[in-house]
């Protein structure tokens, strides 16, 4: 990747910082494989750290979880799905270019669904006229992360990175609008009930 000056450095840095902040919410680790296949150091570093953090989250959850059998079964199922995906992409798609395209498409679909998932709470927010179920800090983090990755994808002319992160910008603005329409002051009764 060619260095394009200060703007490129700023975009790369934003991708790393904002994405590492977002890993507390959990992100698709398929981007690590995509970055490795593409030889993209930014994707590799960010998703390696993310994989380590998510592994720590799972181990901590397993340690403190009272019903370990259910969680272990879910974790084993997830690992099985990951191994099937790995087998498909690395064994059944021998052409590296085809693998890159298919893996990019897979990661994009997963990322888009992740960014659209908060819209499931939209009906609840409108029905209750309360944004209590939405996280304002997560909305800011989503906007910053998705915007920086959109810019990064644009600079690389990588449609998988660019297009998959655009819904994060759109859904963030929808959530900001909901915070504006139903300000937290309307949720005072909820806060009073909890104290």
Distance set, CA 61 to CA 55, 67, 75 (Å)? 10, 11, 11
Residue 192 lies in a domain: no
Number of domains in the chain: 1
Residues 117-168 pLDDT 10s = 777 778 788 888 988 888 899 899 999 999 999 999 999 999 999 999 999 9
Q: Could you tell me the pTM of the whole model?
A: 0.72
Residue 71 lies in a domain: yes
Q: What is the C-alpha separation between 87 and 152, in angstroms, rounded?
A: 29
pLDDT confidence tier of residue 169, bands split at 50, 70 and 90: very high
Residue 190 lies in a domain: no
Q: What is the C-alpha separation between 75 and 53, in angstroms, rounded?
A: 16
Residues 25-82 pLDDT 10s = 445 767 888 899 899 999 999 888 888 888 887 788 778 877 777 767 777 777 787 7
Residue 193 lies in a domain: no
- Give yes or no for a contact between 114 and 27, defined as CB atoms under 8 angstroms apart: yes
Q: State which residues form the domain around 91.
A: 6-184
């Amino acid at each position: 990747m060619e260095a394009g000056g200060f703007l490129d450095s700023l975009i790369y840095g934003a991708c790393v910082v904002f994405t590492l902040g977002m890993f507390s919410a959990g992100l698709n680790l398929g981007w690590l494989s995509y970055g490795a296949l593409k030889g993209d150091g930014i994707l590799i570093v960010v998703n390696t750290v993310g994989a380590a953090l998510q592994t720590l989250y799972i181990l901590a959850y397993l340690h403190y979880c009272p019903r370990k059998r259910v969680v272990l079964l879910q974790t084993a199922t997830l690992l099985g799905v990951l191994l099937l995906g790995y087998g498909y992409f690395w064994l059944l798609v021998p052409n590296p270019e085809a693998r890159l395209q298919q893996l990019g498409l897979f990661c994009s679909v997963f990322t888009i669904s992740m960014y659209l998932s908060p819209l499931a709470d939209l009906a609840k927010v409108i029905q209750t006229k309360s944004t209590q179920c939405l996280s304002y800090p997560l909305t800011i983090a989503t906007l910053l992360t998705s915007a920086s990755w959109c810019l990064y994808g644009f600079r690389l002319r990588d449609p998988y990175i660019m297009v998959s992160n655009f819904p994060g910008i759109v859904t963030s603005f929808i959530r900001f609008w909901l915070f504006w329409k139903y300000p937290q002051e309307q949720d005072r009764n909820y806060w009073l009930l909890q104290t």
